[in-house]
Amino acid sequence: MAVTPFRIDVPDDELDGLRAAIARTRWPDEVDDAGWDYGTPLGYLKELVAYWGDGFRWREREQLLNSLPQFRTTVDAPGFEQFGLHFVHQPGVGPAPLPLVLTHGWPSTYYEYHDVVTRLANPGAFGDDPADAFHVVVPSLPGYGFSDIPRQRGMTPRVMATMFVALMRELGYERFAAAGCDWGAYVTALLGLDHADALAGIHMGMLNFRAVGYEPDAEDAAYSTRAKPWRRDETGYSTIQGTKPQTLAYGLMDSPAGLAGWIVEKWRRWSDCGGDVQRLFTRDELLTTIAIYWFTGTINSANRLYYESRQNPVGLAAGERVRPPAGFLLERVVDGPTPNIGPPPRRRAEAVYDVQRWTVADQGLHFPAMENPDLYVEELRAFFRPLR
């Protein structure tokens, strides 16, 4: 398995094709005063897509993405031998850097971690303690970005975790740390469940397992009450992606406006932006993520992860626990135009994990490495410091 350097270089004809596809957009109607109640508003999306066609400078974003050292290699997992993975690998600068794999989720890409990679790898360059350095590895999930697209059934988070162990060993890291959000949190939890002996610790942005026989209490009841409106109003995307992703794919693959509308609504809804997504993320940042999906043609394979996970659920046996030390950085309760559930009861996590750190963010929700990079960097440093 050879590790080879990788650079992004989208052909000019694909840039021309994108602009032509934007020009052909057939816009839908919209009711008066819809706002975001029905989904991504027509006026906002028209402005964003117009900028994508005429103002967005992909070559500049490409240069930014290529400023981090990127590679590809092949790894083996049951049913997926010689599968190609894309990843960033930034060696640490310090007395004893700890290897760390950072895993993104949906609808995100490895770019989510772009601004924290160098800070985690070389803290001394930012006036911080070099003893906190990490060897940072940021893979593109299989079926996402510049990794291969799975061509057969069964590319689950569990398979991905096995692939990431193989990747880290290929890089010479037999023992490493892991962190992630969204699907990345689930992959990280599965790394801890299935590969505990290789993990120094696991850090996650959400809870993924529930102990057999767990008895809810009043705090659980309050959490469930907060969660009901979210489950009612915010899970339609998961249902369609988990049941009929192929039907959805035709529109998203063919229409830049359709792809942008599908993705940006989630970045607004899941972030701590107070209803204004561009308060937190510039148009260039949003469109960099969307453009990676467009140029790699991976929205269908990314969405399929919901189907594969739904078809292959992971349940714990009675008494089974995730053994590595665990830390959590969790979303706070938010009211207002984009309300959020907030953290689950810590007791629920402690029934499954060896919880050694439990932080509820004071700002930033689903995309902490982009929403609140200062907090995210310090959180990882603090959690892993005693585990080195």
Give the span between the Cα atoms of 89 and 107, in whole angstroms. Answer: 22
Q: Report phi then psi at 288, rounded to 5.
A: -65, -45
| 245-254 vs 236-243: helix crossing angle, rounded to 10 | 110
Exposed / middle / buried, residue 127 (Cβ in 10 Å: 0-12, 13-18, 19+): exposed
Is the pTM here over 0.85, yes or no? yes
**377 DSSP 8-state letter:** H
Query: Strands 134-139 and 98-103: what pairing?
Result: parallel
Give the span between the Cα atoms of 362 and 348, in whole angstroms. Answer: 21
DSSP H helical ranges for 214-356:
218-233, 236-243, 245-254, 256-270, 277-280, 283-296, 299-311, 346-350
Secondary structure of 279-319 in HEC code, one letter for each residue: HHCCHHHHHHHHHHHHHHCCHHHHHHHHHHHHHCCCCCCCC
125-171 pLDDT, tens digit per residue, is 999 999 999 999 999 999 999 999 999 999 999 999 999 999 999 99
165-200 pLDDT, tens digit per residue, is 999 999 999 999 999 999 999 999 999 999 999 999
Q: Which domains does the chain have, with CATH numbers?
A: 1-388 (3.40.50.1820)
Q: Do 244 and 251 form a contact (C-beta atoms < 8 A)?
A: no
Average pLDDT, the chain: 97
Work out the pLDDT band at 1, boundaries 50, 70, 90: low
Exposed / middle / buried, residue 93 (Cβ in 10 Å: 0-12, 13-18, 19+): middle
Q: Do 160 and 142 form a contact (C-beta atoms < 8 A)?
A: yes
257-307 pLDDT, tens digit per residue, is 999 999 999 999 999 999 999 999 999 999 999 999 999 999 999 999 999
Q: Do 72 and 84 form a contact (C-beta atoms < 8 A)?
A: yes
338-364 pLDDT, tens digit per residue, is 889 999 999 999 999 999 999 999 988
69-120 pLDDT, tens digit per residue, is 999 999 999 999 999 999 999 999 999 999 999 999 999 999 999 999 999 9
Counted residue by residue, the chain has a size of 388
Please report, rounded to a whole number, the percentage of residues in the chain having pLDDT higher than 90: 98
Nearest partner of 267 among 13, 34, 15, 44, judged by Cα: 44
Work out the pLDDT band at 32, boundaries 50, 70, 90: very high
CB atoms within 10 A of CB 341: 20
Q: Do 120 and 377 form a contact (C-beta atoms < 8 A)?
A: yes
Give the span between the Cα atoms of 86 and 141, in whole angstroms. Answer: 8
Which tokens is 191 given?
């790394």
Sheet holding 353-360, edge to edge: 4-6, 70-75, 83-90, 134-139, 98-103, 176-180, 199-204, 322-330, 353-360
Q: Report phi then psi at 227, rounded to 5.
A: -80, -20
pLDDT at 6 over 80: yes
Q: Do 152 and 79 form a contact (C-beta atoms < 8 A)?
A: yes
Cis upstream peptide for 142 (omega within 30°): no
CA Rg value for the chain = 20
Name 358's bridge partners. 328
Helices (H) and strands (E) in the chain, counts: 16, 9
